[in-house]
Amino acid sequence: KNEVEQSPQNLTAQEGEFITINCSYSVGISALHWLQQHPGGGIVSLFMLSSGKKKHGRLIATINIQEKHSSLHITASHPRDSAVYICAVSSVIKAAGNKLTFGGGTRVLVKP
């Protein structure tokens, strides 16, 4: 079993719909990261969180440390949100060099 599991693997939505991507992890973490990768593009960090909730524009990330679960929500989705969203966790062990363990990614397609 992978240490970081994402669901769904693929998601298609109509423009304007509310999107939720889930991430579960099985190890102790110091933080959880949400990353975005557009087709053929680089990887950018959207959020890093260790508790509670963060919001940036139409994106909201939440984490429940007790349940080892995080969600990324996209409100009022737009075709430009079409991308792969990747969940990653950083180790609680400082000596691990802040290494990230990644989920498999969720491919999101938003249709106009």
Partner 1 sequence: NAGVTQTPKFRVLKTGQSMTLLCAQDMNHEYMYWYRQDPGMGLRLIHYSVGEGTTAKGEVPDGYNVSRLKKQNFLLGLESAAPSQTSVYFCASTYSRISYEQYFGPGTRLTVT
Is 86 a residue that touches partner 1 (CB under 8 A)? yes
Q: Give SS3 for 83.
A: strand
How far apart are alpha carbons 104 and 102 in whole angstroms? 6
Q: Which of residues 53-82 bind partner 1 (CB under 8 A)?
A: none
Q: Which of 1, 56, 80, 94 binds partner 1 (CB under 8 A)?
A: 94
Give yes or no for residue 99 binding partner 1 (CB under 8 A): yes
Q: β-pairing, 4-7 with 10-14?
A: unpaired
The reply to whether 31 sits near partner 1 by the rule CB under 8 A is yes
Provide the CB-side half-sphere exposure for 75 (13 A, CA).
7
Judged by the rule CB under 8 A, the positions of this chain that interact with partner 1 are 30-31, 33, 35, 41-45, 48, 50, 86, 88, 90, 94, 97-100, 102-105
